Amino acid sequence: MALARRPDLVHVSAIIAAGGRGARFGAARPKQLLTLGGVPILQRSVEALLAHPRVRDLVVALPPDLAADPPAYLRHSGKPVIVVEGGARRQDSVARAFARVPPEAEIVVIHDAARPLVTPELIERTIAAAVAHGAAIAAVRATDTVKRGDPDGTVVETLAREHIYLVQTPQAFRVLVLRDALRGSGDATDEAALAERAGHRVQLVEGDARNVKITTPEDLNAAERLLAGHAPSMRIGHGYDLHRLVEGRPLVLGGVTVPFDRGLLGHSDADIVCHAVTDAVLGAAGLGDIGRHFPDTDPAWKGADSLALLARACSLVRAAGFDVVNVDVTVIAERPKLVPFVEAMRANVAQALEGAVEQVSIKGKTNEGVDSMGAGESMAAHAVALLARRPA
Per-residue pLDDT for the chain (392 aa), expressed as one digit of tens each?
556 566 668 999 999 999 876 666 766 677 888 888 878 899 999 999 999 999 999 999 999 998 999 988 888 777 999 999 999 888 999 999 999 999 999 999 999 999 999 999 999 999 999 999 999 999 999 988 989 999 998 999 998 888 899 999 999 999 999 999 999 878 888 999 999 999 999 999 999 999 999 988 998 988 888 877 655 578 999 999 999 999 999 999 999 999 999 999 988 899 999 999 999 999 999 898 988 888 878 887 888 899 999 999 999 998 888 899 999 999 999 999 999 999 999 999 999 999 899 999 999 999 988 998 888 899 999 999 999 876 55
CB 91 within 8 A of CB 356: no
CA–CA dist 362, 328 (Å, integer): 6
Residue ranges of alpha helices (H) inside 53-134 are 64-68, 72-75, 90-98, 120-133
CB 228 within 8 A of CB 244: no
**Is 351 in a helix, a strand, or coil?**
helix
Work out whether strand 35-36 and strand 135-141 pair parallel, antiparallel, or are unpaired.
unpaired
Residues 6 or more apart whose Cβ sits within 8 Å of residue 146: 158, 159, 161, 164
CA distances in angstroms from 223 to 41, 229, 232, 278, listed in the order given:
10, 10, 17, 28
CATH fold for domain 7-228: Spore Coat Polysaccharide Biosynthesis Protein SpsA; Chain A (3.90.550)
Q: Which segments within 150-196 are labelled E, that is strand?
A: 155-159, 165-174
Give the residue extent of every domain in the chain.
7-228, 234-389
CA–CA dist 47, 317 (Å, integer): 9
The model's pLDDT over 71-109, given as tens digits with 9 standing for 90+, comes to: 888 887 779 999 999 998 889 999 999 999 999 999 999
CATH fold for domain 234-389: 60s Ribosomal Protein L30; Chain: A; (3.30.1330)
The C-alpha angle 128, 132, 136, rounded to 5 degrees, equals 65
